[in-house]
Amino acid sequence: MQGKTVAITGAAKGIGRGIAEIMAAKGARLALIDKDKTALDDAVAALNRLGHQAVGIEGDITRRQSCHRAFADAVAAYGRIDSLVNNAGLYIRTPIEEIDDAEWDLIFDVCLRGVFHMSVAAAAHMRTQGGGRIVNIASVDGFVAFPAMAHYAAAKAGVISLTKSFAIAYADDKILVNAVAPGATNTAPMRENDYLAKLSPRIPLKRGAEPREIAEAVCFLAGDANTYCTGETMIVSGGLVIA
């Protein structure tokens, strides 16, 4: 990632911040996109205190116009963006019969619509510079039935499908589009009500992932080491999907 410019959505907390920290340590220059200004400012300040180069872009990725504006701001910060990481997501556990239209729309706006519009903006830019990388954060829930979060699982299955479509659409432009599907990860939503602790015995490795472990997979797909993966989804679940 040395010298690469990377835009990351949902970068202020959780997996997104873990990705930012690992990429910065590997020499990337970062544009962090998030709608939580307080957390975003904290993430940017922490990275810059360590001597890394990061800028914050406050933005909502649920609509086309705001996505294109956020990506344009990222380009303006560095002159080019080599890689986009579509990490922003919303994790809500709601039984199937209790999911209303508003919650359904919110999950799909954040987890799927945003991925689409950010990727369209990125692809148009990357085509002009001879290529690039897009990495989408999917989820094992896109592969495994999850009735407690059916809307989230459906949206993440959509991310996996979009990854394939974009990979084919932009292969001739040398834009490699892939996804990482994390399993249970040590983030605030997963720690609520001891959910991660309760799930861990079902995982062959007996623990959730740390955000940095997901970040390492993202770094491979987003960097120059990846020269032949496109349309792929890398599962990083500690064996959960085969348990």
Give residue-wise pLDDT tens across range 207-219: 999 999 999 999 9
Distances (CA, A) of 190 to 123, 157, 184, 187, 209: 32, 20, 7, 5, 11
d(CA 109, CA 62): 5
Q: What is the pTM of this model?
A: 0.95
| pLDDT for the residue 146 | 83
Q: Can you read off the two tokens belonging to residue 115?
A: 């991925």
d(CA 163, CA 177): 6
Q: What is the DSSP letter of 241?
A: G
| pLDDT for the residue 79 | 97
Q: Which domains, from first to last, does the chain contain?
A: 5-242 (3.40.50.720)
Annotation says 228 is catalytic: no
Single out the catalytic residue among 78, 152, 195, 228: 152
| pLDDT for the residue 13 | 94
d(CA 20, CA 212): 9
Angle at 174 between CA 86 and CA 56, to 5 degrees: 30
In this prediction, the residues of the chain whose per-residue pLDDT falls under 50 are: none
| pLDDT for the residue 239 | 94
Other beta carbons within 10 Å of 174: 14
pLDDT digits (tens, 9 = 90+) for 16-66: 999 999 999 999 999 999 999 999 999 999 999 999 999 999 999 999 999
Tell me what the pLDDT averaged over the chain comes to. 96
Other beta carbons within 10 Å of 155: 25
Q: What is the DSSP letter of 195?
A: H
CB 205 within 8 A of CB 238: yes
Distances (CA, A) of 122 to 18, 143, 150, 242: 22, 26, 29, 34
Distances (CA, A) of 174 to 71, 83, 171, 177: 19, 12, 5, 10
d(CA 151, CA 18): 25
Give the type of residue at 12: A
